[in-house]
Structure formats: structure tokens, C-alpha cells
Structure 1
Amino acid sequence: MAIGMSGCRSSGAANADAAAKPEVTIIVGGLEKVIYMPAKLAEGLGLFEQEGVKVNLLGEQSGASAENSLLTGASQAVVGFYDHTVDLQAKGQCITSVAQLANIPGEAEMVSTANADSITSAKDFEGKNLGITSLGSSTDFLTQALAGQAGVKKYTPAKVGAGQTFIASMNNGGIDAGMTTDPTIAQLVQSGQGKVLIDMRTEEGTRQALGGLYPAASVYMSCDYVQKNPKTVQKVVNAFVGALDFITTHTAAEIAAKMPSDYANAGAGLYEKSINDTKTMFNKDGKMDADGAKNVVKILDQYSTNVLGKGSTIDLSKTYTTEFVDKVPAK
């Protein structure tokens, strides 16, 4: 379906700018994931309402599912990894990031405690079952990159989702290691069920694992929608940048207080720790790191099935824009 659609979805996009109060549906590749926290935080802070836009936040288990919703027109935006814009362009789609929430993944490759002695680096992935959220997801892309860089020829990607399904798969031996985010990371470490093998929640860890920055969490939309609805897009971006500013200027406890209480189902202290361990990954201004974007293309060109050998044909200027973050009013 995705391959068959025209490059910029010329079939037309809703004219949201004509509405007195535009309505935007945003699919989030895991509402409870700390890496996508700005979406629910913007809602909790009332920032969408302040901007005069009605935003419906809906959750999906992975970025691959979220992007399908965008491509079919069921949603107008996705909060997911930037690398999907590159992957989709390689398939003939035009999708652009309008606000870059983070320039690092915020992910970690976790290894079960039972396998911690035998899996000490990516070189040990050979022949192993490695957990990802789903095929075609960013955890899939990153796992391919880590394995490829380590010279691993064969491993089995296992779709295990996130949260409790990931934890269960690790505990029952369904996966030997896997990639996930907080608060799942914090739960595994605190319980002693898993250990951090490769940490991409910091700039240093990301550069070490991927040879540079890897812009990840973003707000992306179809190029067609952005071109037709710049006023609505600006409202959405203003709200997200407001949430990023709140993250930068407030404590983990203050941030957690604005999030749904059920996100702390493993305990308030653990949830605050997961926020504190991750909050430095977020950008303050929503701007893309240009060299980081180039590194994403470089990695996908080497290790992603869809982008392999097409890196030189990717037009980066169509995968992200700073037009809207540059116009966010100063606080």
C-alpha cells in the first residue's frame, strides 16, 4: 500500500486551516513511552488548547503501525522516529519532521540477566533472538545497524512490543536481548531481570553505538498536509516546543505530576526515575541536528533493507524542516 501511493499524497489533505478551531489526530508510537512524553505532556499542560487546536492523541505499539495510519489518512501527524521519513522517501513517499523532539534515540539494548555473561556486546548477537517492537519499526532499524556494525550475519528479530509484553518475552526466554525504552528499562533494572547492554539514552552512548547523533523522536506529517495547512502545523509545533521547554526547566517529579497517573503503574518513584534518566535527551527548541540527520541516512543506507544503496538519492530537505520551530514565539 505504502509503495503504491504517490510521493506527496497528491490525492489531497484536509483543509484544516479553514476551520475556526482545527482538529488534528496524532498517532503516537507508544503513548506511555518516556521518549514520546512531550505529546501527552503538551496535552496535560493544556498547550494544544492554548494554541486553539483540538488534538486527538491516539497510541500505537510501534512506529511502523503509526506511519501506516498517516499514509492511509487516518491521522494527520505521527510522534515517532525521524528515520521513518527517510525510509518512506526510499519507497516514494514525502513525509517531513516539523519538530525534532530529540537528537538521540533514548533506547537501550537490554539483555536478560540469565544471558548477561554470554552476551556482552553486539558481537554476541549471532544466532540470537533479539526483541523489537515490530518489523519495520525504528527498533528494527537500530537493531540491524548494531548487528551489522558488529559483523553479525544472522539473528532472529522477534516482535515483542514494549512494556509488559517485552518484559514477559525476556523472562520466558522468548528473546535473549532486545531494544526498548523507559519506563521498561527502569523496571527491568530495578527488578534485576535485565541489564543495560548498549545505552543510547545519552549523547555519549549514542555516538559510541552509532558513530554520531541519531535524531529520533519527532513530529512528522505528510508534505502535502504541511504545505496546505501551515497555520495548523504552527499551532501544533508551538505546543510541542512549549512541552520541550517545560521538560528542560522542571524536575522529573514536576513532569510526572502532569502525566496520566496510570503511567506510573510500577510505582511513582520508578516512573520519576525513568523520566530523570531520559529527560536530557530532549531538545529545548525542537530543531534538527543537520549532521545527525546525515548520520541517519548513512546508517540506513548501510543496514536498512528499504534504504540500502539509495542513500545518495535521499533529499534531506524533504525529510525535515525548521520553518515552524523557527517561528515559535519566545516565552
Structure 2
Amino acid sequence: MKLPLTRSSRALYVTLVASLAFCAAAKLATPARAAAPEKFVIMVGGINKLIYLPARLAEQLGYFEAEGLDVELLSEPTGIDGENEMLAGAVQGVVGFYDHTIDLQARGKEVKTIVVLGQVPGEVQMVAAKSADSIRSMADVRGKTLGVTGLGSSTSFLTQYLAQRAGVPASQYTLLPVGAGNSFITAIRQGRIHAGMTTEPTVTQLLKSGDATVLVDMRNVDGTRAALGGTYPASSLYVQSTWLDAHPQEAAKLARAFVKTLRYMHTHSAEEIAAQMPKEDIGIDRALYVSALRASLPMYTVDGRMPADGPQTVLKVLSAFNPAVKGRHIDLSRTFTNRFVDDVKP
């Protein structure tokens, strides 16, 4: 049996129905909230190394955020560590040396560089002050222990090539992984290595302290061509080809952020660039950092493009000693693309 509605209960009923209708209409009228950007994790092979500075600078300048990207930068001591993290799916991209894309193709892995940051390695073969009299060229490294960041790293690739080019086979010297930065400096000072390959700002630190001298300088184009016979594209952003095929829009945004960063670097002084960097990257000696950065600026590309003679030079270096690459057919066109950087407007 229905109970009769009183005046008060009828009014309450009408109010309730109106409220529900209003809420439903309001929900329909509210625009959908934009989905948060997908997180993109980049592993950097030593985030405080100047060869990889564009990654940190892009973050500091807000260029990733301006492109609507949620980018997290992680750091590993060597490029080989970043490569392994990417292949395991822990990160989506690596800022490391381009030569890994060739090495990986030889091992059946498809990886592609989408932005070239350094047209030269930025690496320097240093000789401990105590060994300077006995090591005057790479031909003198027989019986010596040579420091590299890690076995299988780009420093080990380059060290082996320089020694081989000087007529010294790998069986006549020892490669010792000593990392970079302070660990490299310690290895020099303790006499654990007679010479070793490292980058800025470690180079300037060793020169300032007098603990080491320069043997081979690949911080500029002329020095690199003299050492390796051509331009050697080095630091770059590379990703797995399967990821690139599925995320062309994200790749385009990353390319824009990095190219804008490279343009900034070529239109600002070392002092102005350093002013953008976090204190933990600069360290306690700001003047030393600025000096090292000034010496490094010639290594960076202006537009992120692959140098025309670069891939062939890198392949020549790796084919000389790397058993995975030597004698193998490598399709260099699958190791890089200028597609995304070419689309960045001036």
C-alpha cells in the first residue's frame, strides 16, 4: 500500500531529484582531465661527465617539461651499464656512446641513435706523472696497465684501437676497469694504472694537480681525426628500435628538447652554462669546472645530426679488434636516424 506524500516529503523528493540531475549534468560538462605524460627514464653513463652534459642541462633548462615530457635521469658509471639496463627494459633510453649501437647490432639487438650530442669522443688518454718518461706515445704501452671505465665500455674500445694502431696487440698490455672521476684519479695516484682514458672535468683536475699529462687528446675534431682517422660521433641518445617504432611522437619531443639544448650551448658562454648546472655536478672548484667546460665545448654538435663520415669511422675502429663486429656485415643505416632532429625548426 502506497503511503500518501505530505507537502514536506514531496518538496524533499523534488529537491533530491533536482540535485541528482544537477550533479549528473555537471559531470558531463566537466572536461576530461588530460592524461599524465608517460614517464621516460634515461640512463646516463656518468651524469656528471661533461661529455653527457646536454642531458642534465636539458633538464635544468626545463626543455623536457616544455615538451610535455616526464623524464627521469639516472646515472651509471659506464655506458655498458646503461645499455644493459635498457635491454632489460628498466629504462627506455640511454645517453651513451654511439658505438654501442653497432656492437649491439652485431649481437642481434636493434638499437638506434636519434640525437648525436658529441661529434668527437671527448676522451683523453692520460699518463701518470710517474710514467711520463716511459710512455711518450701509445707505442710505449707494452707491459703497462691501462685504465678504462669498464670492460666493454667505449673507453676500452678506443684504448684498444689506439694501441693496435700504434702496433701494440691487446696481449701485450692489461686493461683495468677503474671507473671515472675520483676513482680514476685515485687509481692514477696510487700507481694502479700507468695510463688511462677519461673525460672532463677529470682531465683538468689531473692536469691542475700535476698527477698526469695528456698523451692523446680527442676533445676536438682535429685531435680526433689525428688519433682515429676521422670524425667519431660519441655521446648520443639511443633507444631500442622497437620502442622508437611505437613512440615516434615521444622521440620527436625528446629530439626537440636536446636540439634546443645544443643550440643554447653554442650561443652561451661556459660561465653561463655552468650557472644552470646543479652544485653537485660542478663540485667544490667552480673555476676548474668552467675551465674544463670551456675546453669541451668544441666537442658538441650544433644540431644533433650524425656527422657524414662518423658511422664509417666508428665501424672501422670496432672492426679492428672487437670480435663481435670484426668480419660481420653491419647495416649502418639501422644504427641511427636524423629524421627527428631534421624536423626541429630553427
Q: Check whether TM > 0.5.
A: yes
CA shift for structure 1 position 19:
5.8
- 1:22: Cα distance to partner? 2.4
Cross-structure match for 2:95: 79
Q: 1:303 & 1:145 partners in 2: Cα distance?
A: 7
| Number of the residue aligned with 1:132 | 148
Please give the per-residue CA displacement for 1:239-264, whole angstroms capped at 9, x wherever unaligned: 11111011100000110111111222
Shift of 1:115: 0.6
Is the CA contact 1:237–1:328 (under 8 Å) kept in the aligned structure 2?
Answer: yes
Q: Which residue matches 1:6?
A: none
Give the match's secondary structure for 1:167. helix
Q: Is 2:217 the partner of 1:199?
A: yes
The reply to whether residue 252 of structure 1 matches residue 237 of structure 2 is no
**2-structure distance, mates of 1:20, 1:193:** 50
In 2, distance between residues paired with 1:232 and 1:263? 27
Where 2:266 maps in the other structure, the secondary structure is: helix
TM-score by length of 2: 0.88
Tell me how large the CA RMSD over aligned residues is.
1.1
Which digits, 9 at most, give the CA deviation of each residue in 1:83-139, with x for residues without a partner? 000000010010000001111100000001111111010001111100000001000
Equivalent position of 1:164 in the other structure: 182
Instruction: Give 1:290 shift.
Output: 2.4
Which of 109, 114, 124 is matched with 2:130 structurally?
Answer: 114
Q: In the alignment, is the contact (CA less than 8 A) between 1:96 and 1:319 conserved in 2?
A: yes
- Please name the residue that 1:24 is paired with: 40
The match for 1:190 is 208
- Residue 234 (structure 1) aligns with: 252
Whole-Å separation in 2 of the counterparts to 1:182 and 1:266 = 15
In the TM superposition, 1:64-103 aligns within 5 A as 64-103=80-119
Unaligned runs of 5+ in 2: 1-33
Give the number of equivalent residue pairs: 311
Amino acid at match of 2:274: A
Alpha-carbon distance change, 19 to 130 in structure 1, aligned in 2, over 3 angstroms = farther
Partner secondary structure for residue 152 of structure 1: coil
Which residue among 307, 319, 326 is the counterpart of 2:342? Answer: 326
Structure with higher Rg: it is 2
Partners of 2:273 and 2:128 lie apart in 1 by 30
Q: Kindly provide the amino acid, as one letter, of the partner of residue 60 in structure 2.
A: G
Q: Does 1:123 align with 2:155?
A: no
Structure 1 unaligned segments of length 5 or more: list them.
1-17
SS class of match (2:237): strand
Aligned-partner Cα distance in 1 for 2:141–2:323: 19
Q: Secondary structure at the match of 1:258?
A: coil
Equivalents in 2 of 1:44, 1:32: separation in Å? Answer: 13
Q: Take 1:224 and 1:286, find their aligned partners in 2: how far apart are those partners?
A: 21
What is the aligned partner in structure 1 of residue 320 from structure 2? 302
1:329 deviation in Å?
A: 2.4
- Aligned partner of 1:13 in structure 2 is none
What CA distance in whole angstroms lies between the structure 2 residues aligned with 1:249 and 1:44? 17
CA distance in structure 2 between the partners assigned to 1:264 and 1:41 by the alignment: 12
Q: Secondary structure of 1:307's match?
A: coil
Structure 1 residue ranges (4+ consecutive) displaced by more than 4 angstroms after TM superposition: none
1:288 is the counterpart of 2:306: yes
* C-alpha contact 1:22 1:52 (8 A) present in aligned 2: no
Q: Quote the offset at 1:298 in angstroms.
A: 1.2
In structure 1, the residue matched to 2:71 is 55
Pair 1:46 & 2:49 matched? no
**1:253-279 CA-partner distances (Å, limit 9, x unpaired):** 110111111222240000000100001
Match of 1:216 in 2: 234
Percent of aligned positions with the same letter in both sequences? 49
Q: Report the residue type matching 1:325 in the other structure.
A: V
Q: What TM-score does the superposition give when structure 1 sets the normalisation length? A: 0.92
Work out the CA distance in 2 between the residues paired with 1:272 and 1:163. 16
8 Å Cα contact 1:22-1:232 kept in structure 2: no
CA apart distance, 1:202: 0.8
Q: Which whole-Å deviations, capped at 9, do the CAs of 1:36-79 have from their partners, x for residues lacking one?
A: 00000000000000000000000000001010001000000000
